[in-house]
């Protein structure tokens, strides 16, 4: 299949540029598009055949449900029933934006889209290109992140192209994603709201709207406990890991830098044929004696880190790095989301110094 690439300038969005993409979606095809979090791989959420194509293109396990993207709050009533008041309060505060709500699904949403579940994940993105695509096509768009299953989520069109060229009908290039980490997921189908995936909207942000909110137990634990099954099926899969081996080093800054420098020196002496690298905050770059240093953003500027993390993880692969030491990025209020992704990328390989 030929994958068509189109570029849309977000400063001058013209709805007529969405005609072909809309037709593809209406005909059951697949279009990758930007959102404020990561690029999504979109298909008609109410068309079981389109959902099946999404799973096939990504190589995604079929029990891992898709998020349905809408363009106005009242759309939730077409997709879900028994909607609690709290859903409207959350929508009021966080939509359009990087929040996904889990609600009880109506019959029109096929189980092919929800991985066999009776619930549906719904998100109203803030990205103008995403919203124009949804409203112009008149299609509720099921969209997982537009990466091959297991790879870091794509934060620019080139990442999508690397993973999905030849497997989907179209890629809409709208530039770099503003946030760079997937949405926060909150489940509203139980007695109390539960956060199933940490994201840019933090637990503290949610607590301003809902009295009681906790993380799903499976997310709370640093190391996955095989006895606790995450409520978001996707959280159980290995994810984001580059080919190289990442070790996260936690502790006081001076101890962390000393430990990493020592490890690099020892390793280089014992095996000079491998490629070593450090992942750190921009402020700390001068502290390292390493040939390959990857800055992940400014320690105190959460967005600089969230928006570069996945790009850096992909870059490590491109550069053929074998061994990576990473700092912990715990100085911002987005640390739960950032470290959730980084721990997974490192396969929970963590050293405390």
- Going residue by residue from 89 to 118, which x/- string records binding to ligand TXA, judged by CB under 6 A? -----------x-x-----------x--x-
> In angstroms, what is the C-alpha Rg of the chain?
20
Out of 145, 189, 202, 257, the residue judged to bind Mg ion by CB under 5 A = 145
Out of 8, 25, 31, 38, the residue judged to bind ligand TXA by CB under 6 A = 38
What are the tokens at 321?
A: 């790095």
Instruction: Name the residue nearer to ligand TXA (CB basis): 79 or 185.
Output: 185
Strands 350-352 and 245-250: parallel
Q: Which does 168 bind (CB under 5 to 8 A by kind): ligand TXA, Mg ion, none?
A: none
What are the tokens at 55?
A: 């799973």
Out of 109, 120, 124, 188, the residue judged to bind ligand TXA by CB under 6 A = 120
Instruction: Name the residue nearer to Mg ion (CB basis): 33 or 276.
Output: 33
Q: How far is the C-alpha of 143 from the C-alpha of 44, rounded, in Å?
A: 9
64 binds ligand TXA per the rule CB under 6 A: yes
44 binds ligand TXA per the rule CB under 6 A: no
Instruction: Name the residue nearer to ligand TXA (CB basis): 186 or 264.
Output: 186
Which residue blocks in the chain are alpha helix, DSSP H?
19-26, 48-58, 76-79, 85-94, 128-137, 157-164, 203-207, 217-220, 253-270, 302-306, 309-318, 335-345
Which residue blocks in 106-221 are alpha helix, DSSP H?
128-137, 157-164, 203-207, 217-220
Inter-residue contact 141 to 43 (CB < 8 Å): yes
Q: Which does 35 bind (CB under 5 to 8 A by kind): Mg ion, ligand TXA, none?
A: ligand TXA
Query: Is 190 exposed, middle or buried (CB count within 10 Å of its CB: 0-12, 13-18, 19+)?
Result: exposed
171 binds ligand TXA per the rule CB under 6 A: no
Residues that bind ligand TXA (CB under 6 A): 35, 37-38, 40, 64-67, 100, 102, 114, 117, 119-121, 123, 143-145, 182-183, 185, 196-197, 231-235
């Amino acid at each position: 299949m030929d994958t068509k690439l189109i570029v849309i300038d977000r400063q001058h969005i013209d709805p007529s540029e969405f005609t072909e993409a809309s037709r593809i979606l209406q005909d059951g095809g697949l279009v990758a598009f930007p959102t404020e979090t990561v690029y999504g791989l979109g298909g008609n959420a109410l068309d079981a055949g389109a959902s099946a194509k999404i799973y096939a293109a990504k190589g995604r396990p079929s029990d891992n449900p898709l998020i349905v993207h809408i363009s106005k709050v009242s759309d939730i009533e077409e997709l879900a029933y028994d909607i609690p008041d709290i859903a409207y309060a959350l929508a009021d505060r966080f939509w359009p934006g990087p929040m996904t709500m889990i609600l009880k699904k109506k019959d029109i949403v096929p189980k092919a889209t929800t991985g066999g579940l009776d619930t549906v994940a719904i998100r109203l993105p803030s990205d103008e290109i995403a919203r124009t695509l949804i409203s112009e096509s008149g299609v509720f768009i099921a969209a997982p992140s537009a990466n091959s299953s297991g790879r870091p989520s794509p934060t620019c069109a080139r990442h999508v192209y690397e993973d999905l060229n030849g497997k989907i009908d179209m890629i809409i290039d709208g530039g770099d994603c503003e946030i760079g980490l997937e949405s926060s997921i909150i489940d509203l189908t139980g007695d109390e709201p539960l956060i199933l995936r940490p994201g840019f909207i933090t637990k503290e942000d949610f607590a301003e709207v809902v009295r009681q909110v906790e993380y799903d137990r499976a997310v709370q634990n640093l190391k996955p406990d095989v006895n606790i099954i995450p409520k978001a099926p996707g959280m159980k899969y290995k994810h984001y890991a580059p080919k190289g081996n990442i070790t996260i080093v936690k502790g006081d800054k001076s101890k962390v830098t000393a430990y990493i420098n020592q490890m690099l020196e020892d390793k280089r002496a014992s095996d000079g044929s491998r490629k070593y690298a450090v992942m750190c905050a921009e402020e700390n770059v001068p502290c390292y004696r390493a040939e390959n240093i990857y800055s992940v953003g400014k320690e105190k500027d959460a967005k600089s880190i969230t928006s570069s993390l996945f790009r850096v993880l992909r870059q490590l692969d491109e550069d053929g790095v074998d061994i990576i030491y990473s700092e912990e990025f715990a100085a911002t209020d987005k640390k739960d989301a950032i470290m959730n992704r980084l721990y997974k990328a490192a396969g929970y390989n963590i050293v405390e110094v």
